[in-house]
Amino acid sequence: MSEGFTLWLTGLPGSGKSTLAGLAAEELRRRGYRVEILDGDEVRTHLSKDLGFSKADRDANIRRIGYVCKLLSRNGVIAITAAISPYREIRDEVRREHQRFVEVYVKCSLEKLFERDDKGLYAKALRGEIPFFTGVSDPYEEPLNPELLIESDREDAQSSLRRLLSRLEELGYIAKAPAPQ
């Protein structure tokens, strides 16, 4: 059984965390790894539906996600989290609880996020219709030293995936992919 680890994708809503998590999970499974994705929206629906969006509730949500990731990773699973996780202190707390942890900051400019805003969430937040919206009416604290910075407004998803896999190989968390024949 291979060693598990936690792959934590953080960034503003709409930055591409879930897309990258899905692509990474697909490729890692193809390579024979056991993988689970804990998507922030799904966790809120199934594990944290009792929580709101205050700082205390957001911290509790991230702690819950971190705990599940820790259980999975110590049992040989690659736990991938795609969650906004806006506060640096709680992300760092979760990191300290893990033996093998990779933080990926999926960064995207607000201008690009407004363009991508298919659901109109940023527009509603700007009009004050959504309180505590991260990046508009609630803060997002960028990671200071992530293992990888993905600028999703400057590269496509496949390029981001290649860089992510390469970084995981460099860190020794996954084996290098065999060269195509």
**Is residue 85 annotated as part of the catalytic site, yes or no?**
yes
CA distances to 17, 120, 125, 172, 173 from 166, rounded to whole Å, are 17, 34, 36, 10, 10
Sign of CA dihedral 27, 29, 33, 37: positive
Pairing between β-strand 101-107 and β-strand 5-10 as defined by DSSP bridges: parallel
- Which is the catalytic residue, given 15, 73, 85, 160? 85
Query: In whole angstroms, what is the distance from residue 49 CA to residue 59 CA?
Result: 14
Active site residues: 85
